[in-house]
């Protein structure tokens, strides 16, 4: 039977911050930028789905003594449920007692489940953001039009997608989301390098910011995260897709963005660390990591998705 020893179960803010900061792939993670977090007070509730009613042309003229025109604020809604996600780290008491002063087994141990929790969240967002079943504005590029082919024109492809999204939501897309393989293709693309460098430096490699400017978007988000799919084999989480999207720079419950993360925080932050708890059966200390979230599609037409962008 396990019991509490020396320390009650509580949120360790310092350990939580440490574990998130030192998660091994943290610099490569973009999920929170693609599906901005919306903190919610309830584990389940309704959320707003964007439509274009604010852009409707209505009759505003009013004669003296006449009634004012009336508009009704009635948005489309759906429901979310912030499912629980959790892992634990176990540190044998022997490791705690034998650790050198410069070593903190608890910190080293808790960083692993936090890293795995963040990676699972990244995978979940990538699967939805790059889902041709979730978004209707999609097209698969033919071999000659793929961005690793000399015959392709990614600038024109992005511009066409921007026009489609703008025609559907009234806002011009500001973000291009791509996987690492697509990013490498754009770095090597002769047309992109010509726009960035001109004809004097055809062998130079453009940066993310330079590619974004060449393609006419404010921000380029490159998914670099990987997971171990087999022994000595790592697979990209973000595949060979490209999403041209409008993501509101001021995220909130009513902000326009293709995806949102409804995060039920309760009394603690996301990926909070609880513990330590003593376990008599294993003579070990345990720390727990929790997250409650639901990643939802909140604007069907705020993104245009190209599949099979590179071969």
For the ranges 6-10, 70-74, 153-157, 188-192, the lowest mean pLDDT is seen at 6-10
280: left (phi over 0), alpha (psi -120 to 50) or beta: alpha
Whole-number pLDDT of residue 200: 72
Distance (Å, whole) CA 172 – CA 217: 9
For the ranges 22-36, 58-72, 216-230, the lowest mean pLDDT is seen at 58-72
Cα 20 to Cα 29, 36, 166, 220, 294: the distances in Å are 12, 17, 37, 24, 20
For residues 81 and 73, which has the higher predicted lDDT (pLDDT)? 81
Whole-number pLDDT of residue 116: 92
pLDDT of 7 higher than 70: no
Local confidence band at 6 (pLDDT 50, 70, 90 cut-offs): very low
Which residues, at least 6 apart from 103, have a Cβ–Cβ distance to it below 8 Å? none
10: which 2 tokens? Answer: 């509580």
Could you tell me where the DSSP H helices lie in 201-285?
208-215
What do you get for the CA distance between the two ends of the chain, in Å? 55
- Domains, the chain, ordered by start: 13-52+76-307 (3.90.1690.10)
What does pTM read for this prediction? 0.86
Q: At what angle do helices 13-21 and 105-129 cross, to 10 degrees?
A: 60
Distance (Å, whole) CA 259 – CA 125: 8
CB 36 within 8 A of CB 125: no
* CA-wise closest residue to 276 among 289, 267, 263, 261: 289
Strand (E) or helix (H) holding 186 = helix 180-188
Percentages of the chain per state (helix, strand, coil), in multiples of 5:
30, 30, 40
């Amino acid at each position: 039977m396990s019991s509490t020893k020396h320390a009650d179960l509580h949120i360790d803010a310092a350990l939580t911050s440490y574990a998130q900061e030192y998660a091994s792939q943290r610099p490569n993670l973009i999920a929170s930028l693609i599906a901005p977090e919306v903190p919610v007070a309830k584990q389940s509730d309704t959320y707003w789905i964007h439509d274009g009613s604010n852009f409707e042309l209505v009759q505003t003229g009013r004669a003296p003594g006449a009634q004012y025109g009336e508009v009704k604020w009635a948005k489309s809604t759906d429901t979310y449920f912030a499912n629980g996600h959790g892992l634990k780290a176990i540190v044998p008491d022997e490791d705690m007692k034998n650790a050198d002063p410069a070593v903190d087994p608890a910190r080293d141990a808790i960083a692993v489940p936090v890293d795995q929790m963040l990676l699972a969240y990244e995978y979940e967002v990538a699967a939805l953001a790059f889902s041709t079943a979730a978004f209707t504005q999609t097209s698969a590029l033919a071999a000659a039009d793929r961005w690793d082919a000399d015959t392709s024109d990614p600038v024109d492809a992005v511009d066409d997608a921007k026009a489609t999204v703008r025609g559907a939501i009234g806002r011009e897309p500001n973000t291009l989301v791509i996987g690492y393989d697509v990013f490498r293709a754009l770095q090597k693309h002769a047309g992109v390098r010509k726009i960035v460098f001109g004809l004097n430096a055809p062998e130079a490699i453009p940066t993310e910011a330079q590619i974004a400017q060449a393609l006419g978007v404010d921000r380029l988000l490159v998914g670099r995260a990987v997971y171990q799919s087999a022994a000595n084999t790592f697979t990209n989480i973000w595949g060979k897709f490209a999403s041209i999207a409008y993501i509101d720079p001021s995220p909130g419950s009513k902000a326009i963005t293709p995806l949102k993360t409804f995060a039920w925080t309760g009394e603690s932050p996301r990926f909070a660390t609880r513990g330590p708890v003593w376990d008599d059966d294993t003579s070990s200390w345990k720390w727990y990591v929790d997250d409650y979230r639901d990643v939802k599609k909140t604007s069907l037409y705020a993104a245009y998705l190209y599949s099979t962008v590179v071969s």
